[in-house]
Structure 1
Amino acid sequence: MDSGGIAGALFAAALVPGSLTTRIALATLGAFLAVLIAGPFGIRWLRSRFGERIDSASARLNELHAAKQNTPSMGGLLLIGATCLVTPLLADLANPFVPLLLFVLLTFGALGAADDWIKIRRLRRGLTPRQKFVVQVVLGLIATWWLQSAGQSRSDAGTVVLPLGNVTVALGTGFLIWGALVVVGSSNGVNLTDGLDGLAAGTWLISGTCIAVLTYLAGHAEFARHLGIPSVPGSGEITVVLGAMLGAVLGFLWFNCHPAQVFMGDTGALSLGAVLGLAALAVKQELLLIFVGGVFVIETLSVFFQMGTYRLIGRKPLRCSPLHNHFVFRGDPETRIVTRFWIAAILLAIAGLATLKLRTL
């Protein structure tokens, strides 16, 4: 099938009532409208209970973000609520991927909510990094075990597919550790990026759209064969869940753009990142996620680079980490930083998707 044939098939599928493509579109639109309608009421409720407390380890950063004090936080509840409202209406709950994704969304969201609640109501900086990491790893192991169990009948269960050349590497029981690493790393990457108005939400929209396209294509055997990607039966239902999340995040961005009326907090960031990582893992595209989620990777690496360099030579190469804070310290306008990070995310996503064609050469 050539590219024109694929486009024609997609268009035809979109016209079929109740088809997967239609359900994805309805999930996206439904979640967007749910957040847009509930947003003003939810923001007022959050403002009365969960105002952001600016209290980072950097006094200078606290000073620069002083205007954000008391902005409603825990807006991730809007994202999770809209996704959980729309998904059961449009997704096939008998498909094993759907309850798994909802489990990850809710459990990582609960972890983030606990962290946010402690920050806001207990006047501490939330859970300790160790506490948060241990819970994330446990949840990541459970999610990966569940995913592997759901795919036991497939020959590629417990394997990693290298993006170039489609070389398959069997990990066996090591796949549990690998999967947990992907989910936890993705979760923390989004969380570290969530520091400026609209930065994490906009970047996740770009990466999430790419992964949604891949889950859709992987669920269609003919499309997958044409593009040289692993075929994963039933993965189209992942796209319905991701579609709902994309709509919810788009609606959230309506209120989260500068100057933000609400922050997603760890409640939203941890859950969005975890679902993104698991979805990529489910369709054997976790290595490609390094490209399409490149901004999250760079933000995470900037923290390790800052800490490692300081311990080795006693100097910090960045004015402040994660990377976006370096530009804040430099005096760049917040909207300029966010827009340029979005541009970088788009370019990295294009580069990642471009590798699909290289597989068929």
Structure 2
Amino acid sequence: MTAVLEKRTARPIGRKAGVRPRAVVVGLIAVLGTFVVSVFSLGTGDFDIAPADVVTTLFGEGNPAHEFIIGELRLPRLITAIAVGAALAAGGAVFQSLVRNPLGSPDMLGVTNGASTAALTVIILGGTSTQLSIAAVLGGLGATLLIQLIAGRALHGFRFILVGIGMAAILTGISGYLLTRGVQMENARALLWLTGSLDGRDWGQAKPMLVVLAIVVPVLLLACGPGLKILEMGDDSASALGVPVPLLRNGALLSAALLVSFAAASAGPVNFVALIAPHLAKRLTRAPGPNLLPSIAVGTLLLTGADFAAQHLLQERTLPVGVVTGLVGGGYLVWLLTTERRAGRI
């Protein structure tokens, strides 16, 4: 009788620990959607290219004109959008898991603001694009370390969130002051960067993002992912199960901050992707834990779709991608609050 009960209780646990079919389906649909959007994005512009010719060119069998237009003019922007979307989604998923709050994204907790303030300082001082990127990365990491230092060990709960919100407010004030000190040309460049834009992106922005993703994402998936799922049950439970809580928490936090900072360095502070992609992925997969891979897939779809809309929504001009993500993100939050209120959960 005992053996029968053990078998009956072991099966559900095994299924929970294994691959979740719903998460796989969500991820595959998001990847397929990203591919479709990418093909149309590469083929649409002043010189339209048929989808079949786009695919042929990507496999190295296109004509020289198509290879130049796609490979040199349009593909770097698309790859940057995919990489930035993946980085923001992964970073947001880790932050939300660590603070155990669906609104605990780097947009809200001062990490993106740190990158923005540092980059804005370089812009006002007339620095180069390379200096701007370095400053954004250092600013994001510096803000994260400062928030962690002030909040102490409380990466979960209200202390870390309140410290992060306070830091974001301070950095926003500093950024506003810097804008008052710049000249017209510098302010125009600063405002465009602060909105979040993929205009003019080349392989110089795309390649560093790909390198960072190739290094940091496997670390999060293999070294931090299983531990983060256990950590959501509480520090005491995780410690009892052998999880090195301080090491895991600090490593995951710095890895997520690194992803978000590099994303800001490549495209500016693109808002709401780090907040919405993990939340949407969790609602679709209905799975516990940070849901890193589904979040990354949803994040790439969100940003590539937003960038395609930003380029072609208005015929006379191209919008910054941050404008589109802001509209989509704000609309999603309003819809979410409305549905949660009707369901009686808030």
Please give the range of the TM-score, normalised by the shorter of the 2 chains: 0.3 to 0.5
Larger Rg: 2
TM-score normalised by the chain length of structure 2: 0.33
TM-score normalised by the chain length of structure 1: 0.32
Higher relative helix content: 2
